[in-house]
Amino acid sequence: MYRLNHHPEKEEENLFGLAEEAIIFHGLEKCITGMDQFGYAVYDYLKMLEVFTDDGMTNEEAEEWIDFNVACVNAGRGFVIHYPNL
């Protein structure tokens, strides 16, 4: 598993049994709702919005942050973002 902004001295257990090439975003672990057929983490978009707005961002800022700093990582490989009908 690849962990972005990860501190190896605080290694965490792979609770979902994710694939080695799965990407885990530090600070967004609680947004993982499961895994896809390839063993990649599935992130809930609304939970990610909640994390960033709880940190002080507006909803618009959080959406922009996710679009440019999360969804584009590794060309979208290694993780899945579940976007509910908004």
pLDDT digits (tens, 9 = 90+) for 14-71: 667 899 889 999 999 999 999 999 999 999 999 999 999 999 999 999 999 999 999 9
Mean pLDDT across the chain:
84
> Which is nearest to 22 in space by CA: 78, 84, 71, 65?
78
Q: Which domain holds residue 57?
A: 2-82
User: Which spans in the chain are helix H?
Assistant: 45-54, 59-69
Instruction: Identify which has the larger pLDDT, 36 or 85.
Output: 36
Name the domain count of the chain: 1
Q: Note the pLDDT of residue 75.
A: 73
Q: Note the pLDDT of residue 1.
A: 41
Integer Cα distance of 12 and 28 in angstroms: 13
Q: Note the pLDDT of residue 7.
A: 43
